[in-house]
């Protein structure tokens, strides 16, 4: 009996406790706090044996078991670094191809790997894999951003077979994450209701996040998620992976709880209607999947991504941004030179840096007087702007502010000269009737001539108006009836559309490296780190209702930093201008109102708020974000930004419920301050004529006190939003 027991124990230990075997190779991809460890068996199969906290002693990775669970991996590749289809695989593949000879299987064996320091604190590991039966290679790239704890991962595929190889699935990333339980927070929405979170436990089998919309790809579901291990995600505790695919087109992210109850994650371009014919000697490079692992909750994961984005991704991520006055909600399509020049003066009076002229300034044969006509005809409308854009630029500048414009260069109206001249530039099926999204169609950016046209439109305007200070780049339609009249490979359209867009953006950025560009897609229909390589900021939603925005901005803040988040004060919502201003301050502030309609106090408040903003904006844009009280589960929301030196902080709190006596009932514990430092708290954005109870007695608090005991911002029905400036001092 004793013998059998010992035998049983030793068998199960064999199953779970087999560390590296002689001949195994270990590849550790590490950041300051995270490690992704790949083990290559002596048979050449590369698998993931660890994703999580970095171990202090690198030699300990050899002790890690091949998989951490009891049970049998029949294939020995459930945890493959890049699961090939068609052979012994039983689960979701990362790669599915049909070789030149028609063989639908692949095998990928390790060849070698190399590690390079590609920038200060950035290490790139490349793992070379090859099919033993075919001249077919895959390279896996892992860029580890040491200080920011972010890993950027992508793949490339190349072959020298005799003919084209059909790529049916070609993921960017294939990860393996062992835990007891998995909780996925994904986001969904639609126009004006972007980024609604939903947290679900992952059960055995597959959960897929994806989009098939082509252009305005994130309209229903953005490619960003939070994955929490063992227990639901919390703000400051627990293991969380925040992930996002840097691709502005159709994507697919699969979560598969495998038979061992480990989690397999596969992310990349959506294979839907996108078979890719790869010619010999050509390389197919997939977009990057980005992730960060935190063992201090969602908060740390967000701060990692924000730091990474500011430093390594978003143009001028650590630079400046312009406050602006936009005319969209003030005038819609109904304006002329006189109206606009009056608005410049209003902008100056308010104190913003720039005036942004929105939709409606162009097209003559089919004037853009509503959203049915004119897209594609990017010439100034002679009736509205007889003296052209140049005149407006000068007028704005002589009023003392810069001038920027709205463009939607990827689109075409059925009623436009462009459509008449180049029907084959339009994405549509010849034998299907046209179907419109916002009354418009999408240009075929997979066509190099269309790429040149789009580049030419933007470059032409900037060449003619060299001091133009800003472009808002909109994208309001999805792709229906996906078909290119000129692309020899119809199934490349979705992929080559995005590649075409990126080519245009690369060229524009090479010539105009510092131009501020707003990424807009009828709101947040295209917010991803593929596009944010080129754009300085994004428009989260057309919904600018102050209350709604607290939620929308909160949810974007999981992934994107405040410096890139455009928040405008508009007439949506019935909250006071103070409330709407306080909300818009948590990012890149702007206005879309008729300034002349503000009463005396509202104007004075707004002018003062802009001055305060200019003083404190660096803390909001470049500080660390701490989400203190969630509006999702409380009747208030509270958000803190702390400067890197911990000498300043900006603290925003809002009432989001409206039941009797709701408000901040108790002190809120701050985070991220220096416990050793002393701080003063001053209420700013105090409305003219009202008094701040907080400013009455100026006390000094230690960081330790504020983080242990906390402070009550006194939010209630009479003080629905409170902005506090925290400064080091005695």
Task: State the binding site for substrate.
Answer: 191, 358-359, 438, 472-476, 520, 542
Considering only 253-261, 448-456, 518-526, 676-684, which stretch makes contact with ligand DGJ by CB under 6 A?
518-526
Q: Which of 73, 258, 377, 474 is catalytic?
A: 474
- Asked if 545 is part of the footprint of ligand DGJ (rule: CB under 6 A), the reply reads no
Q: Which of 45, 131, 358, 537 binds ligand DGJ (CB under 6 A)?
A: 358
Residue pair 317/311 in contact (Cβ under 8 Å)? The answer is: yes
Q: Which of 84, 268, 523, 587 binds ligand DGJ (CB under 6 A)?
A: 523
When CB distances to ligand DGJ are compared, the closest residue is: 359
Q: Examine the residue annotation and report whether 45 is marked as an active-site residue of this protein.
A: no
- Asked if 656 is part of the footprint of ligand DGJ (rule: CB under 6 A), the reply reads no
Number of residues lying near ligand DGJ (CB under 6 A): 11
Shortest Cβ 360–ligand DGJ spacing (Å): 8
Token pair for residue 446? 């997979």
- Asked if 328 is part of the footprint of ligand DGJ (rule: CB under 6 A), the reply reads yes
Token pair for residue 118? 């590609």
Question: Per CB under 6 A, which of residues 237..296 are in contact with ligand DGJ?
Answer: none
- Asked if 476 is part of the footprint of ligand DGJ (rule: CB under 6 A), the reply reads yes
Element (H, E) at 455: helix 448-464
Helix, coil or strand: residue 703: helix
State the Cα–Cα distance between residues 655 and 717, nearest whole angstrom: 7
Q: Examine the residue annotation and report whether 542 is marked as an active-site residue of this protein.
A: yes
The smaller minimum CB distance to ligand DGJ, of residues 561 and 590, is found at 590
Q: Which of 426, 520, 583, 629 binds ligand DGJ (CB under 6 A)?
A: 520
Token pair for residue 410? 């990827």
Shortest Cβ 580–ligand DGJ spacing (Å): 16
Residue pair 61/37 in contact (Cβ under 8 Å)? The answer is: yes
State the Cα–Cα distance between residues 253 and 224, nearest whole angstrom: 9
Shortest Cβ 539–ligand DGJ spacing (Å): 6
Annotated binding site: 191, 358-359, 438, 472-476, 520, 542
Residue pair 538/532 in contact (Cβ under 8 Å)? The answer is: yes
- Asked if 624 is part of the footprint of ligand DGJ (rule: CB under 6 A), the reply reads no
456 φ/ψ angles, rounded to the nearest 5 degrees: -60, -40
- Asked if 542 is part of the footprint of ligand DGJ (rule: CB under 6 A), the reply reads yes
State the Cα–Cα distance between residues 185 and 225, nearest whole angstrom: 6
The smaller minimum CB distance to ligand DGJ, of residues 354 and 520, is found at 520
* DSSP-assigned beta bridge partners for residue 57: none
- Asked if 315 is part of the footprint of ligand DGJ (rule: CB under 6 A), the reply reads no
Shortest Cβ 210–ligand DGJ spacing (Å): 24
State the Cα–Cα distance between residues 49 and 66, nearest whole angstrom: 6
- Asked if 171 is part of the footprint of ligand DGJ (rule: CB under 6 A), the reply reads no
- Asked if 474 is part of the footprint of ligand DGJ (rule: CB under 6 A), the reply reads yes
510 φ/ψ angles, rounded to the nearest 5 degrees: -65, -40
The smaller minimum CB distance to ligand DGJ, of residues 223 and 525, is found at 525
Considering only 46-54, 422-430, 492-500, 519-527, which stretch makes contact with ligand DGJ by CB under 6 A?
519-527
Considering only 89-97, 163-171, 271-279, 516-524, which stretch makes contact with ligand DGJ by CB under 6 A?
516-524
**Beta strands of 5-131 (E only): which ranges?**
25-30, 34-40, 46-53, 95-98, 109-119, 122-130
Starting at the edge strand that comes first in sequence, how are the strands of the sheet with 324-326 ordered? 537-538, 517-519, 470-473, 402-407, 354-357, 324-326, 588-592, 566-570
Over its C-alpha atoms, the chain yields an Rg (Å, rounded) of: 27
Helix, coil or strand: residue 350: helix
The smaller minimum CB distance to ligand DGJ, of residues 252 and 327, is found at 327
Cα end-to-end distance, the chain, whole Å = 74
Token pair for residue 566? 């455009």
Q: Which of 131, 353, 359, 410 binds ligand DGJ (CB under 6 A)?
A: 359
Q: Which of 528, 542, 545, 582 is catalytic?
A: 542
Shortest Cβ 100–ligand DGJ spacing (Å): 46
- Asked if 218 is part of the footprint of ligand DGJ (rule: CB under 6 A), the reply reads no
Q: How far is CA 227 from the centre of its chain?
A: 16
- Max distance between CA atoms of the chain, in angstroms, equals 99
State the Cα–Cα distance between residues 524 and 351, nearest whole angstrom: 27
The smaller minimum CB distance to ligand DGJ, of residues 271 and 367, is found at 367
Q: Which of 142, 406, 455, 470 binds ligand DGJ (CB under 6 A)?
A: 406
The smaller minimum CB distance to ligand DGJ, of residues 336 and 698, is found at 336
Shortest Cβ 381–ligand DGJ spacing (Å): 14
The smaller minimum CB distance to ligand DGJ, of residues 48 and 477, is found at 477
Shortest Cβ 361–ligand DGJ spacing (Å): 11
The smaller minimum CB distance to ligand DGJ, of residues 142 and 361, is found at 361
Element (H, E) at 101: none
- Asked if 522 is part of the footprint of ligand DGJ (rule: CB under 6 A), the reply reads yes
State the Cα–Cα distance between residues 300 and 293, nearest whole angstrom: 9
Calculate ∠ Cα 677-679-682, nearest 5°.
Answer: 165
Closest CA to 414 of 335, 477, 497: 477
The smaller minimum CB distance to ligand DGJ, of residues 243 and 522, is found at 522
State the Cα–Cα distance between residues 233 and 506, nearest whole angstrom: 37
Q: 439 to each of 54, 361, 381, 424, 535, how far by Cα in Å?
A: 52, 18, 20, 18, 26
Considering only 39-47, 515-523, 558-566, 698-706, which stretch makes contact with ligand DGJ by CB under 6 A?
515-523
Closest CA to 714 of 678, 668, 680: 668
The smaller minimum CB distance to ligand DGJ, of residues 359 and 602, is found at 359
Token pair for residue 72? 């049998």
State the Cα–Cα distance between residues 143 and 131, nearest whole angstrom: 24
Q: Which residues bind ligand DGJ (CB under 6 A)?
A: 328, 358-359, 406, 474, 476, 520, 522-523, 539, 542
Q: Which residues are catalytic?
A: 474, 542
């Amino acid at each position: 009996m004793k013998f059998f027991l010992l035998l049983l124990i030793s068998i199960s230990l064999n199953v779970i406790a087999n560390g590296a075997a002689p001949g195994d190779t270990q590849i550790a991809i590490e950041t300051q706090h995270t490690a992704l460890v790949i083990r290559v068996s002596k048979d050449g199969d590369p698998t993931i044996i660890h994703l999580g906290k970095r171990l202090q002693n690198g030699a300990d990775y050899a002790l890690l078991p091949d998989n951490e669970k009891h049970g049998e991996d029949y294939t020995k590749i459930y945890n493959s670094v890049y699961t090939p289809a068609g052979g012994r695989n039983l689960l979701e593949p990362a790669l599915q191809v049909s070789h030149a000879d028609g063989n639908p299987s692949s095998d990928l064996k390790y060849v070698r790997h190399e590690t390079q320091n590609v920038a200060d604190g950035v290490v790139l590991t490349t793992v070379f894999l090859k099919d033993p039966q075919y001249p077919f290679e895959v390279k896996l790239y892992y860029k580890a951003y040491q200080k920011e704890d972010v890993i950027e991962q992508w793949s490339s595929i190349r072959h020298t077979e005799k003919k084209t190889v059909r790529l049916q699935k070609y993921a960017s990333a294939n990860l393996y994450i062992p835990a007891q339980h998995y909780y996925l927070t994904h986001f969904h929405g639609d126009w004006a209701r972007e980024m609604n979170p939903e947290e679900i436990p992952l059960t055995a089998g597959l959960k897929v996040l994806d989009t098939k919309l082509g252009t305005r790809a994130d309209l229903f579901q953005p490619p960003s998620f939070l994955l929490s291990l063992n227990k639901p995600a919390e703000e400051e505790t627990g293991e969380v992976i925040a992930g996002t695919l840097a691709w502005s087109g159709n994507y697919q992210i699969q979560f598969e709880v495998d038979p061992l109850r480990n989690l397999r994650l596969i992310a990349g371009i959506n294979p839907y209607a996108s078979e890719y014919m790869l010619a010999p000697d050509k390389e197919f490079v997939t977009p990057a999947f980005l992730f960060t692992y935190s063992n201090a909750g969602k908060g740390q994961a967000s701060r990692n991504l924000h730091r990474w984005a500011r430093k390594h991704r978003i143009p001028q991520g650590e630079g400046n941004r312009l406050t602006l006055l936009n005319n969209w909600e003030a005038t819609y399509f109904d304006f002329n030179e006189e109206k606009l020049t009056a608005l410049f003066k209003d902008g100056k009076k308010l104190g913003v840096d720039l005036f942004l002229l929105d939709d409606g300034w162009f097209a003559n044969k089919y004037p853009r007087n509503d959203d049915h006509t004119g897209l594609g005809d990017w010439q100034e409308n002679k009736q509205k702007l007889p003296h052209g854009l140049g005149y407006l630029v000068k007028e704005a500048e002589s009023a003392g502010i810069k001038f920027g414009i709205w463009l939607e260069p990827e689109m075409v109206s059925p009623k436009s000269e462009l459509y008449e001249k180049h029907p084959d530039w339009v994405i549509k099926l010849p034998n299907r009737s046209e179907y419109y999204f916002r009354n418009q169609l999408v240009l075929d950016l997979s066509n190099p001539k269309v790429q040149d046209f789009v580049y030419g439109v933007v470059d032409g305007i900037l060449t003619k108006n060299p001091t133009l200070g800003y472009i808002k780049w909109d994208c309001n339609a999805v792709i229906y009836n996906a078909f290119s009249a000129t692309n020899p490979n119809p199934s490349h359209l979705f992929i080559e559309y995005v590649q075409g867009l990126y080519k245009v953006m690369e060229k524009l950025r090479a010539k105009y490296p510092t131009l501020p560009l707003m990424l807009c897609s009828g709101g947040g229909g295209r917010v991803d780190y593929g596009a944010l390589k080129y754009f300085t900021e994004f428009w989260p939603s057309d919904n600018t209702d102050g209350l709604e925005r607290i939620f929308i901005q909160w949810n974007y803040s999981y992934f994107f930093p405040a410096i890139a988040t455009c928040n405008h004060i508009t007439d949506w919502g019935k909250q006071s201008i103070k409330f709407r201003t306080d909300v818009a301050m948590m990012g890149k502030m702007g206005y879309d109102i008729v300034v002349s309609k503000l009463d005396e106090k509202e104007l004075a408040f707004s002018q003062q708020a802009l001055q305060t903003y200019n003083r404190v904006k660096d803390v909001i844009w470049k500080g660390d974000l701490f989400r203190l009280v969630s509006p999702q589960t409380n009747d208030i929301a509270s958000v803190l930004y702390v400067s890197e030196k911990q000498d300043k902080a900006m603290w925003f709190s809002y009432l989001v419920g409206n039941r009797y006596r709701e408000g901040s009932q108790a002190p809120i514990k701050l985070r991220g301050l220096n416990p050793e430092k002393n701080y003063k708290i001053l209420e700013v954005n105090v409305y003219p004529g009202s008094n701040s109870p907080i400013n009455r007695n100026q006390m000094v608090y230690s960081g330790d006190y504020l983080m242990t005991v906390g402070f009550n911002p006194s939010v209630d029905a009479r003080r629905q939003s409170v902005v506090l400036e925290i400064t080091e001092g005695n």
